[in-house]
Amino acid sequence: MVITDWSKIHDRDNSWRQQLQGQLIAAYVLDRYLVLFEEAFRNNGVLSFLELGSGNGDLSKKILEARLPCVGKYVVSECFNEGIEWLSSLGLEVLKLDAQKINLPDESFDVVLSFDVMHHVEDPRAMAVEMLRVSRKRLLLTEANGLSIGRKIFELSPGHKAAGEKSFRPSVYLDFFRKVPGYRLTSTRIYPLLFVFKTPSALAPALISFSRFIEKVPLLKWQCATVCLDITFERIR
């Protein structure tokens, strides 16, 4: 299923993750994503970033407001006109782009990012190829974890189906980037994070504590809802 209406995924004040996980949990999720972003890039100098599929910009704003020294240029994108208008109204530098066919030259940015986007697109392999092409050296993605039983059950719900979601196993996500002509992966890191779902506010602190705990437990951690893929590569001339 291909989504053609931005408002079916987001509204102007609530991102898709907020609608699924609630305001309090979403605040923790954004904090967790900010931590993984900072840990990934804090020792890499000043970089330019392209974020694909930025939704309503909640995470983009959080990254920029943190004023991290690694962030030089930070450009966000959406493929829907309504999303472009909303992101522009926030003062973000925004481009209208299709993640499966990015209308930019090769090596336009040091890093290409996507946060919970690939499991929405019709052709994940095409998105992977385009991310490699547009980036100079590195990719960072968070994606729905297809090993998580809870995650697979949630995908049967009307809301997840309406967003065209389809999670994959971590190894399958990585396979989308492997054996792309002209590129060789030089390092890959895949790790699970976030065991969260929509819950009453009174139970949120306990769920956040459990989410932090489970990320560190061997085997069990792969029941987290999300995986992070941190990929570096080189071009084969």
Give the whole-angstrom CA distance, residue 178 versus residue 171: 10
Provide mean pLDDT across the span 112-135: 96
Closest CA to 105 of 127, 132, 134: 134
The pLDDT, as a whole number, for residue 225 is: 92
Give the whole-angstrom CA distance, residue 183 versus residue 177: 9
Q: Is the pTM of this model over 0.75?
A: yes
Closest CA to 110 of 77, 140, 153: 140
**Domain segments of the chain: what residues?**
6-235
Angle CA 141–227–69, to nearest 5: 45
- Looking at residue 31, the DSSP 8-state letter turns out to be H
Give the start-end residues of each E strand in 99-225. 109-115, 135-144, 183-193
Provide mean pLDDT across the span 155-176: 81
* CATH of span 6-235: 3.40.50.150
